[in-house]
Each structure stands twice: as C-alpha cells, then as structure tokens.
C-alpha cells in the first residue's frame, strides 16, 4: 500500500517571511500588497484558485449583483432557463477576469509568494500547508513561519441539521448561482438579506419563489420600511411564509422536484431549495489551538480593538472574527492592522461609526444608523421624515427608470439636528446611503442636507423634499 503524498510525515520545505496571510479576502490581499510595497516579504496562502481575490469578488457580492442586474433585464417573453444560462455565462466571464486581475496584483510582485494550499497552524506564527492543485502559485508541502500572521479565511454558509439537507437539489448561496437545471419553482429557507436577494433575483429570472422565514421579514426594523418591502416582494409574486420552521427536505411524492416540510404549516413544493440561513466564520481545521488563538462560541476568532488575536503577532481580518459580514469592513480591518504594524497604532475598530449596508433586492434597501424606536430607547428627542418614493415630487429619477416603488425614512436628533439613522428603499439607494453615512460621520446636519445642491435628475435630490418635512 502506497502512502498518500504530501502528508505531515514528509519533511516540508520551510519558508520564512515577514508577513503570512491566510486567505485571499479583501482585507488580506490589500494588507499583503501594502506590506510588499514597503519592501516586506509576503506569503499569501489560498486553498482554492477559484477564490483568488476573495469571497466577495468570486462567489458573493460581485457575481450575485451581476446576476441581480441581469435578471432585471429579462423581458416578459424571454425564456427563464435560456436567460438564466446567458446571465450565468456573463457572470462567469466577468468573475474570471476579476479573479485573474486579483491573482496578478500579488503574483507579479517580487516580494510576494503565492502558495496554493490549505494552511494549518502547527505553532505560534507557523503553519503547515497541504498543497492544492489548479492554481498558479507554489503548490507543495510547506512549513511557513512569519513575524506577522493574518488570518483572513472569511465565512462559509451555515447548513442547518435538517433531514434531507444533503439532497442533490439543495443549494447554498454559492452553488445556486450555477443551478442546473434552472429551478422554475424555488424554495428559499431563510428570510435574511441573502435569502431576500436571491428571492428577488430568481423571481426576476422568472421562477416561482417561496421564502420560508422563521420570524417576520425585517423584524425590528422601521415598520414603514418593512411594510413597503413586504408589499413590493408580494406584488412581485414572491410567497412569504413567515413564522415558519423547515423540518425536512425530501423527494416529492409526485416524483417531480422536492418538498420542504414545515412545522404546523402546509409543505412547499419546489424544483430546488436554497438554504440561506446565514454564514459562520471559517475557522474549522485551522489548528488555532496550536497557535494560541482563541475563538468564541460561534467559532469566530477573538480579537481586540486592533483585531489582534490572543496570540502575539497574529491578527484576524474580516468575517472570520465575527460581527457584520461586509467586504468594506474587511478593508477597514487592513487599515487597523497597518496602523498597528507600521503606523502609530492609533486606529481602532471602535472608530467606525455610521457603517452603511445594502440588501440588493429590487429596488435596493439601504440602511445606516439606528431606527426611530432605538433612538427613543437611547433617550434621544427624535424627529422623523417619511415619504413614499412615488409621491416625492423632487425625485423624478425613479420614475424615469420606471420604478418609483419604495419609501424613505430618516431619523434626526431634534436637539442637535444630526442624523441618527436612515432607511432608503428605492432606486439608487446603495449610492445615496453613502452620502448619509458620510454626513453622520462628519456632523453634517439635516438642515444642511435639506438645503444641499444636488444633481438633477438624481435620487439624492429627494433629500431636499423629504428633509423639508422637518421644518
């Protein structure tokens, strides 16, 4: 019997570097490039060549938004299956180019060594790499040690322990992007941002979509916004099963498709099931104990205000340390680490205020800050401005795009005239929310935004009219 190659019994080649980055996410790749630019030797370890550039570029933010855009282009007479196939081809071509660009951003730097393989800690600031095939970097059994180590392995989909979860017609948020055949009936387990984005997308592609959510859609958010989102989704034909708990997935008795059984409710018949119940930090089998790196109950790496782990010289960036899962927060993590390693050490995670977010349903829902209820609970004297988009006279842009659905709600401190939060559900909201977030960080008042000079026609100019409600 022959022994398997590249086992730990072999003597691996030993590499040493100033910086070791495990995982090619936004924060890690940017930190690696910055350190190489300062003349440091850097090793980047990525286990999957399809993830050069990180999750966002390859399987999450960018490809899904490309599909959202393509789905919105489908006309009533277009065949859903053919249109989806063409959209996926566009997605794959785009992502292939971005993947290659991200690879060469590091591979072409003399100070950077790209290693294809899975890293596992064998001691403080030291890993052993099991090589993987298919990449363009070094693929061999290695032991790597570095002065500074960055864990940047991201997050992976959570697959709940449901009976039938391993059914071949069950997808996660990655695999559903290449669903074959196209599911004309799609059941989605999970009513969070990921579930709603795919629900809106696949409905636009022409599928019949049912969302199975444990609780209320957008529970705890602004009621005006929640009602508007639910109205838009249901008018699009998406069935929302709320307060519903999926129990099992099995072949349909008819022999066509699958059935999702739900506690105390009728089952859902579908051709495929998307499980969108969240993502968890990817820390399994990293050997973190050997490095002295602690994790919490959810498996997230424990970090301090400078994203330092419990092991000296080891940092964790992005989704792997828990909290909000946003690529731009991973990018900001890299700034925190740069400050700690090469700067004055002044930057902290707690420096962040007014972090915006967008759920790319159609139209997109964007948020920043706190809700009216949260503001009152915190003791603020509150003023609110609320307007249905179709009734905003100074906002013609959505009408020109034939989509005037949605609502705007902005919460303002009555004593200081400063914004406390905003919910924007309309065309272009993913852009306008950045302006409001900047205003919150810079102390720009609601009055100044109300009196701002904005381009026309744009969605931003809604602020003139909406904030005018406040007097």
Find out whether 190 is annotated in a ligand binding site.
Answer: yes
On whether the CB atoms of residues 72 and 362 are closer than 8 A, the answer is yes
Dig out the tokens for 71 from the structure.
């789905």
On whether the CB atoms of residues 44 and 175 are closer than 8 A, the answer is no
Maximum C-alpha span of the chain: 83
CA–CA dist 338, 265 (Å, integer): 52
3-state secondary structure of 261: strand
Phi first, then psi: give them for residue 22, nearest 5 degrees: -105, 105
- Whether omega for the bond prior to residue 327 falls within 30 degrees of 0, making it cis, is no
CA nearest 6: which of 156, 135, 199, 142?
Answer: 142
DSSP E strands, 73-183: 112-123, 126-131, 142-151, 155-157, 170-171
Q: Is 69 a catalytic residue?
A: no
CA–CA dist 69, 465 (Å, integer): 29
Please work out, in degrees rounded to the nearest 5, the angle formed at the alpha carbon of residue 28 by the alpha carbons of 322 and 430: 65
Phi first, then psi: give them for residue 265, nearest 5 degrees: -140, 165
Find out whether 25 is annotated in a ligand binding site.
Answer: no
Buried b (16+ CB within 10 A) or exposed e, 333-354: bbbbbbbbbeeeeebebeeeeb
Find out whether 65 is annotated in a ligand binding site.
Answer: yes
Find out whether 94 is annotated in a ligand binding site.
Answer: no
Find out whether 196 is annotated in a ligand binding site.
Answer: yes
Binding region? 65, 190-197, 278, 319
Binding region for NAD(+)? 190-197, 278
Residues labelled as active-site residues? 456
Binding region for FAD? 65, 319
């Amino acid at each position: 019997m022959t022994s398997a190659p590249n086992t730990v019994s072999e003597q691996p080649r030993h590499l040493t570097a100033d910086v070791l980055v495990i995982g090619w996410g936004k924060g890690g790749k940017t930190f690696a490039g910055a350190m190489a630019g300062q003349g440091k030797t850097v090793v980047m370890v990525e286990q999957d060549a399809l993830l050069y550039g990180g999750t966002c570029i390859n399987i999450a933010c960018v490809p899904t938004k490309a599909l959202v855009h393509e789905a919105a282009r489908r006309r009533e007479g277009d065949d859903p299956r053919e249109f989806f196939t063409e959209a996926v081809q566009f997605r794959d071509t785009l992502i292939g180019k971005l993947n290659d660009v991200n690879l060469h951003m590091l591979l072409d730097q003399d100070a950077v060594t790209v290693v294809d393989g899975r890293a596992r800690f064998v001691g403080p600031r030291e890993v052993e790499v099991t090589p993987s095939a298919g990449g363009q970097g070094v693929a061999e059994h290695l032991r790597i040690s570095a002065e500074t180590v960055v864990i940047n392995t991201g997050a992976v989909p959570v697959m709940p322990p449901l009976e039938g979860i391993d059914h071949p017609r069950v997808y996660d948020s990655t695999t559903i992007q290449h669903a074959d055949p196209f599911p004309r009936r799609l059941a989605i387990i999970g009513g969070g941002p990921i579930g709603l984005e795919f629900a809106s997308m696949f409905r636009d592609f022409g599928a019949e979509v049912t969302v199975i959510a444990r609780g209320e859609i957008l529970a705890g958010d602004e009621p005006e916004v929640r009602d508007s989102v639910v109205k838009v989704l249901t008018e699009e034909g998406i069935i929302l099963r709320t307060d519903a708990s999926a129990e099992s997935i099995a072949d349909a008795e008819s022999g066509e498709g699958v059935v999702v059984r739900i506690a105390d409710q009728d089952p859902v018949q579908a051709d495929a099931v998307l499980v969108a119940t969240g993502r968890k930090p990817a820390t399994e089998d990293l050997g973190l104990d050997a490095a002295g790196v602690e994790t919490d109950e959810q498996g997230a790496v424990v970090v301090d205000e400078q994203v330092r782990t419990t092991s000296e010289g080891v940092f964790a960036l992005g989704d792997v340390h828990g909290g909000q899962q946003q690529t731009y927060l991973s990018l900001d993590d890299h700034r925190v680490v740069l400050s700690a390693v090469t700067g004055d050490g002044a930057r902290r995670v707690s420096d962040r205020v007014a972090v915006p977010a967008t759920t790319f349903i159609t139209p997109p829902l964007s948020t920043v800050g706190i809700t009216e209820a949260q503001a009152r609970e915190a003791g603020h004297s509150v003023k609110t401005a609320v307007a249905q988009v179709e009734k905003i006279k100074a906002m013609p842009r959505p009408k020109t795009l034939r989509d005037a659905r949605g609502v705007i709600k902005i919460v303002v401190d009555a004593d200081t005239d400063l914004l406390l939060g905003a919910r924007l559900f309309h065309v272009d909201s993913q852009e306008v929310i950045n302006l409001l977030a900047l205003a919150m960080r810079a102390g720009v008042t609601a009055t100044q935004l109300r009196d701002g000079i904005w381009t026309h026609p744009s969605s931003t100019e809604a602020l003139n009219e909406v904030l005018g409600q406040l007097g």
